[in-house]
């Protein structure tokens, strides 16, 4: 049994029935979902209370990018018969939202976004006294990735160039390290059988794809939003949110987000016809 759990399935071999078992059984919902939700809210509001607004907004960008990825993954499933990745009933989720997305993943990514932004070195008082003072001095803040972004590189002094490099690396390094660790964790989840990979190009043998598509957008969107002045934080988040909502509306209206089988393994989706 241990061997069967640790053995990863070959690409495209997980049946739609296996992928949809959790989605098609409402009794899978667990009570622990409620305390997890309350704890997550507490963490968010605690950061907000302490005026760590940029941390919360950066985390929101992180979470929205994950929702975007999970949505297009469900669309791939509806049109090809196999998602890029999927979660199974073996994971015993409290609530399965889409074929590769459950409530635990949702909460985890928001908290991971908060954690990522908390790791970023910031200048004392960067949030300012008033709400819209946040990152007001972004272009002159040596701990901000946009330091001197309004000045051509050739016009910077040597010390300014060094400070700019340090500021950028202070964001790039945590994002890259975080993305690498996330890929490693995902590989372990795949080996345990709770997360499946169904496409040839989304496998441990090609970790660069998971790194670039799966996680870099999450981490870099979080740090980029975190360092923007408040007005631009809302504009950036608004753009991401609008794209996500539009994609959800399109996919939802086309019936791509829900189950694509009848619960007994028979494909009933409108956009894919199984061979044979």
More confident site: 269 or 11:
269
**Tens-place pLDDT, residues 188-220:** 998 888 899 999 999 888 889 999 999 999 999
How confident is the model at residue 9, as a pLDDT?
60
Token match 């605690």: residue? 46
Whole-Å CA distances, 120 to 31, 68, 115: 34, 24, 9
What residue ranges in the chain does DSSP mark as E strands? 85-87, 96-98, 101-102, 195-197
User: 29 with 217: CB under 8 angstroms?
Assistant: no
Indicate the SS3 state at residue 276.
coil
Q: How far apart are CA 242 and CA 178, in angstroms?
A: 26
Chain length of the chain? 276
pTM: 0.93
C-alpha closest to that of 16 among 197, 194, 260, 195: 260
**Tens-place pLDDT, residues 125-182:** 999 999 999 999 999 999 999 999 999 999 999 999 999 999 999 999 999 999 999 9
Q: How far apart are CA 139 and CA 126, in angstroms?
A: 12
- Burial of residue 239 (number of CB atoms within 10 Å: 0-12, 13-18, 19+): exposed
**Tens-place pLDDT, residues 57-105:** 999 999 999 999 999 999 999 999 999 999 988 888 899 999 999 999 9
């Amino acid at each position: 049994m241990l061997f069967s759990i640790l053995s990863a399935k070959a690409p495209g071999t997980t049946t739609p029935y296996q992928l949809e078992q959790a989605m098609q059984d409402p009794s899978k919902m667990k009570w622990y979902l409620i305390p997890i939700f309350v704890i997550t809210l507490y963490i968010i509001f605690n950061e907000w209370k302490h005026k760590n607004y940029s941390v919360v907004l950066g985390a929101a960008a992180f979470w929205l990018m994950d929702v975007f990825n999970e949505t297009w993954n469900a669309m791939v499933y509806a049109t090809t018969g196999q998602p890029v990745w999927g979660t199974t009933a073996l994971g015993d989720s409290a609530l399965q939202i889409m074929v590769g997305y459950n409530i635990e993943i949702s909460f985890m990514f928001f908290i991971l976004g908060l954690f990522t932004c908390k790791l970023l070195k910031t200048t004392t008082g960067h949030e300012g006294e008033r709400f819209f003072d946040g990152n007001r001095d972004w272009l002159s803040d040596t701990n901000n990735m946009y330091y001197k972004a309004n000045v051509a590189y050739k016009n910077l002094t040597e010390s300014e160039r060094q400070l700019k490099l340090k500021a950028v690396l202070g964001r790039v390094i945590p994002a890259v390290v975080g993305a690498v660790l996330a890929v490693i964790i995902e590989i372990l989840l795949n080996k345990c059988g709770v997360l499946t990979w169904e496409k040839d190009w989304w496998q441990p043998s090609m970790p660069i794809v998971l790194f670039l598509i799966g996680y870099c957008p999450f981490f870099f969107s979080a740090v980029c939003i975190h360092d923007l002045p408040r007005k631009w934080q809302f504009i950036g988040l608004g753009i991401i949110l609008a794209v996500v909502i539009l994609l959800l509306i399109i996919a939802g209206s086309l019936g791509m987000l829900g189950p694509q089988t009848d619960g007994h393994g028979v494909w009933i989706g409108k956009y894919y016809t199984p061979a044979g």
